[in-house]
Amino acid sequence: MTGVVIVGAGPAGLMAAEVLSRAGVQVDVYDAMPSAGRKFLLAGKGGLNLTHSEPSELFVQRYGARQAVLAPLLQAFGAQALRDWAQGLGVSTFVGTSGRVFPTDMKAAPLLRAWLHRLREAGVRFHMRHRWTGWDATGACQFTAPNGPVRVQARALVLALGGASWSRLGSDGAWVPWLAARGVAVAPLVPANCGFDVAGGWSDHFSSRFAGQPFKSVALSCTDSRGQRFQRKGEFVATATGVEGSLVYAASAVLRDEIARSGQARFTLDLLPDKPADKVLADVAHPRGSRSLSSHLKSRLGLDGIKMALLHEVLDKDALQQPERLAAAIKAAPLTLSAARPVDEAISTAGGVPFEAMTPQGMLQALPGVFCAGEMLDWEAPTGGYLLTACFASGVLAAQGVLNHLSQPATMAP
């Protein structure tokens, strides 16, 4: 029997390996991919956003319905602890203008290389191209590997298998039926931080001209059928079929859940959030003489491009000529969404193993000796460093739970 087996070489699994190896435990990490941290590297492609610098009382609120259960994890290993950990690997960080925290060189690869080197130096053994396929009849972990099936008995098992987004990088949700078959409740995996399709689609003119272009300096507002309200300023991008990007991702949980309940979700877009409604109406109603409507709105309000095109999407020709209706649309252009984009396109997923199915130390109540960490747990958070921070923190919790479990006389019995 080996020491502790960790399945999943992403941030949660690797952090669990670090805590355990530091405590002198022999750790074997298994992963289906050819190399570790595939999704972590993708997250850093445009600049690795490790965490966020906002005060802890605001930070924890980003986890919505799960903030109470995640608060102790983030107190034990939060944003500053993550920055200190990176510094320990020789990677300095800085706070960007948005409050997000990045490595000084903005890259994920140097941090990951240093981390894997330290883990190997600590005795952690890596088994790549080993895909976990659940347990056999004796309770041993089963893997498919290049040289054939592999069976491993372990003193404890940490599952850090990810959700179901970006399956080509290893997070495919294949683990769900294996846990469910052993009595573990698993909430359906659904897209989070995702894009949406606009009901009825864009016009051919809009999608051909403006797909891929950003809506900048706008404010998105929505209120769902339960009265939950979202309002925030930011930017997002038009796609060929709908919308995606940071502002939409921030609202995605409210929008996704409303579509699940009602079949569609609606939000309004303030195209000029820094300009009062009465000023907008005054400028729209100002005599334009021989100028076209487009020239008039560009001159008086700076509206052109994709914002002007959106007004043509939401208003008919008659409404465009009525100052009150046009001004109202500029301050609250209505858009109806029909569906979230497929889960594999999402940045992350919600759903997974509920915290209620685990002990406070991350062990599955139905499977003593089996711990879960990372995105396979039932929580979600917006982009901005919150996802990574909680993944790291959950890896720390799982490892500490394993150490406590190993000190007890009970044995693992999947």
Residue 372 in contact with residue 160, Cβ under 8 Å? yes
Question: How far is CA 36 from each of CA 84, 167, 351, 361, rounded to the nearest angstrom?
Answer: 22, 15, 24, 25
Give the bridge partners for 220, in sequence order: 232, 269
In this prediction, residue 43 carries a pLDDT of 84
3-state secondary structure at position 317: helix
CATH number of 2-190+347-406: 3.40.50.300, 3.50.50.60, 3.40.50.1220, 3.40.50.720? 3.50.50.60
List the structure tokens of 291: 């100028």
Residue 411 has pLDDT above 60, yes or no: no
In this prediction, residue 159 carries a pLDDT of 98
In this prediction, residue 414 carries a pLDDT of 46
Distance (Å, rounded) from C-alpha 403 to C-alpha 405? 5
Q: Calculate mean pLDDT across residues 21-32.
A: 97
Task: Please state the domain extents for the chain.
Answer: 2-190+347-406, 196-340
- The DSSP output letter for 35 is S
326 Cα distance to chain centroid: 36
Distance (Å, rounded) from C-alpha 21 to C-alpha 30? 15
83 Cα distance to chain centroid: 20
Residue 154 has pLDDT above 80, yes or no: yes
* pLDDT tens profile 226-276: 999 999 999 999 999 999 999 999 999 999 999 999 999 999 999 999 999
Task: Band the pLDDT of 166: cuts 50, 70, 90.
Answer: confident
Task: Band the pLDDT of 363: cuts 50, 70, 90.
Answer: very high
- Name the E strands within 27-104: 27-30, 51-52, 93-95, 100-103
Distance (Å, rounded) from C-alpha 169 to C-alpha 252? 23
Report the candidate in 335, 162, 190 with the shortest Cα–Cα distance to residue 252: 190
Distance (Å, rounded) from C-alpha 20 to C-alpha 30? 15
Alpha-helix runs per DSSP H in 232-361: 246-262, 277-285, 293-301, 305-314, 317-320, 323-331
Q: Tokens 């919505």 — which residue?
A: 64
Q: Calculate mean pLDDT across residues 83-99.
A: 96
Q: Tokens 């396109």 — which residue?
A: 345
Task: Band the pLDDT of 1: cuts 50, 70, 90.
Answer: low
Distance (Å, rounded) from C-alpha 145 to C-alpha 132? 9
Q: Calculate mean pLDDT across residues 312-331.
A: 96
Residue 63 in contact with residue 70, Cβ under 8 Å? yes
315 Cα distance to chain centroid: 34
In this prediction, residue 410 carries a pLDDT of 52
Instruction: Look at phi and psi of residue 305 and say left if phi exceeds 0, alpha if psi is from -120 to 50, else beta.
Output: left
Residue 413 has pLDDT above 70, yes or no: no
Q: Calculate mean pLDDT across residues 304-318.
A: 96
* pLDDT tens profile 188-230: 999 999 999 999 999 999 999 999 999 999 999 999 999 999 9
b/e sequence 333-360, b meaning 16+ C-beta within 10 Å: bebebbbbbebeebbbbbbbbbbebbee
Taking only Cα atoms into account, the Rg of the chain, rounded to an integer number of angstroms, comes to: 24
Distance (Å, rounded) from C-alpha 250 to C-alpha 247? 5
Q: Calculate mean pLDDT across residues 150-170.
A: 93
